[in-house]
Amino acid sequence: MRKVLLDTNFILTCIKEKIDLFEQLLGYEIFIPIQVISELKKIDKSGLALKILSKQKVKEVDLKTDYADEGIIRFAQENPEFVIATLDRAIKKKIKNPFLTIVKGKKRVELFNTH
């Protein structure tokens, strides 16, 4: 089973665009950094993201940094078997891992290889 690490903006955009990210990620083992969970607690005042995540089988991972983006880049470099789910251009440019991104207007997620 492939493994995917979710970034904050990916989760929030899926919710905003009404994309069922768990349906889109069938066949993936889903990991969420605890730093992303902390960001969601601060950013998502409605609590919807955390409510949706709590109903799914996800595994938490500690990036061992206070900065989620930095930690995701390092995690991706250390774990090339992971797909990174992000919309962040800076992260996409700095990783060699394949990444998932949202195709706007099509309400779906697509996998891109960086090479």
Residue 1: the pLDDT is: 85
Between 111 and 97, residue with greater pLDDT: 97
* Other beta carbons less than 10 A from residue 20's beta carbon: 14
pLDDT grade, residue 109 (50/70/90)? confident
The answer to whether residue 113 sits within a structural domain is no
Q: What is the CATH number of the domain that holds 44?
A: 3.40.50.1010
Q: Could you report the per-residue pLDDT of 56-71, keeping only the tens digit for each?
A: 999 999 999 999 999 9
What pTM does this model have?
0.91
The answer to whether residue 87 sits within a structural domain is yes
Range of the domain at 36: 2-105
List the structure tokens of 98.
């394949």
Q: Could you report the per-residue pLDDT of 71-85, keeping only the tens digit for each?
A: 999 999 999 999 999
